[in-house]
Structure 1
Amino acid sequence: MEKHMLLREAALGILGVVDRIGEADLGTVTPCSGWDVRALSGHLLEWGPPLEGAARKESVPPGAAYGSVREQLERLAEAWGAPEAWGAPEAWAGETRMATAALPADRVGGMVLGEFVLHGWDLARALGVPVGWSDDVLRLLYAEIARSADQGRSMGVYGPDVPVPPDAPLLERALGLSGRDPRWTPTA
């Protein structure tokens, strides 16, 4: 399956979790160090527009959000998951821009996939609700994290590698590679 189709599939997981967030949940701690549900939602709103703009090869500053978290995630999924001719959409081809940096577009698409799955898991874990993705989505996620883990750690995007058994489920291995503890609970 093409990357853009896997991204659309990944979006369904986080959208299902976002739909379950209530006012009382906003102060709930998440696996993202120092972020509660409100702060993580704010992050998705702040960085959604630059990631969405990058799909169109446009530089959009952080914080240009409008609408709800759900609406922003839907626009982001549409921008990177558009099914033009059911081939690789233009968003994933060539170079794009994030802030002032030129980056390979497929790397930014991989970042969007990470936002959907990793932050979808973060929110689900904080709320105590189930979420899941297909093995195809998780294989792509793991590959994307593996190719950018060192850079992500140097930028503070990922934490230190969390050791996970090599035979652990693929989601757990991806979480560990991103610096998340797959066993994390709000009370741990």
Structure 2
Amino acid sequence: MDIENLHRRAMQGTGQVIAEVGPEQLRLPTPCADWTLHGLLRHMVSENLAFARATTADPEGSDVDWDAGRLGAAPAEDYRRSAAEFSTAFAAEGVLDRQVRVREFGVFPGRVALVFHFVDMVVHGWDVARTIGSRYEPDEELPATALEIMRANPPAQDGTGVFAPMVEVPESASALDKLVAYLGRNPTWPAEAPGPARAASYGMAG
């Protein structure tokens, strides 16, 4: 798996969707039930910055703030700057083999941290696109790979985990629909769903 290439493509596609966001849309609800679009974008900025800063922090005593992102008058530009900081950090020599602390969930090689963020990019791109009614059609390889990664973890069953319980979809559903459903989202959102997706995140999709 060429995670660097996959991540680059996912980040580019999600950035294109975010560039379409208008200021009047920031109060809209999102598939992450606890977040408005403003809250979701602020979370994404926070994640970009925290992942970047975690690459140089002491993994045993990291003081990285995972909720430090802020949005100003131009949220898309705030996101773009944070994404650039992320990309620069993870392009540094040796960073994919360096130990990186991801929130309270543990210490992982940088390559694994990049995998976490890749899944975030694919799913949050869908979240934003659904919220603003924009098209989101990533290359099938992106959601298919993210789904394979997530299926290595049992789906939530009772609503007590990081994600909401998995939503059932037909076997004929697209890889993207299967991915978001696996993480507790209704692929037909904003239609009524069995249960809203949580807004929690651990460096993966919230």
How would you bin the TM-score normalised by the shorter chain? 0.7 to 0.9
CA gap of 1:99–1:180, structure 2 versus 1, over 3 A, is closer
Whether 1:70 and 2:80 are equivalent positions in the alignment is yes
In the alignment of these two chains, the number of paired residues is: 180
1:93-152 CA distance string (max 9 Å, x none): 36321245312433322221122111110010000001121122122211222224558x
Aligned to 1:46: 46
Contact 1:8–1:78 under 8 Å retained in 2? no
Contact 2:49–2:69 under 8 Å retained in 1? yes
Whether 1:113 and 2:123 are equivalent positions in the alignment is no
Aligned to 1:28: 28
* Coordinate RMSD, CA, aligned: 2.6
Aligned to 1:147: 152
Contact 1:149–1:177 under 8 Å retained in 2? no
Equivalent-residue separation in structure 2 for 1:149 and 1:121 (angstroms): 22
Equivalent-residue separation in structure 2 for 1:70 and 1:48 (angstroms): 10
Structure 1 unaligned segments of length 5 or more: list them: none
Q: Percent identity?
A: 23
Structure 2 unaligned segments of length 5 or more: list them: 71-76, 194-206
Aligned to 1:161: 166
Question: TM-score of the superposition, structure 2-length normalised?
Answer: 0.75
Considering fraction of residues, name the structure with more helix. Answer: 1
Query: How far does residue 51 in structure 1 lie from its aligned partner after superposition?
Result: 1.6
Equivalent-residue separation in structure 1 for 2:79 and 2:191 (angstroms): 22
Residue 132 (structure 2) aligned to one of 123, 127, 133: 127
Equivalent-residue separation in structure 2 for 1:186 and 1:17 (angstroms): 21
Query: How far does residue 167 in structure 1 lie from its aligned partner after superposition?
Result: 2.1
Residue type of the alignment partner of 1:61: D
Question: TM-score of the superposition, structure 1-length normalised?
Answer: 0.81
CA gap of 1:140–1:92, structure 2 versus 1, over 3 A, is farther
Whether 1:95 and 2:83 are equivalent positions in the alignment is no
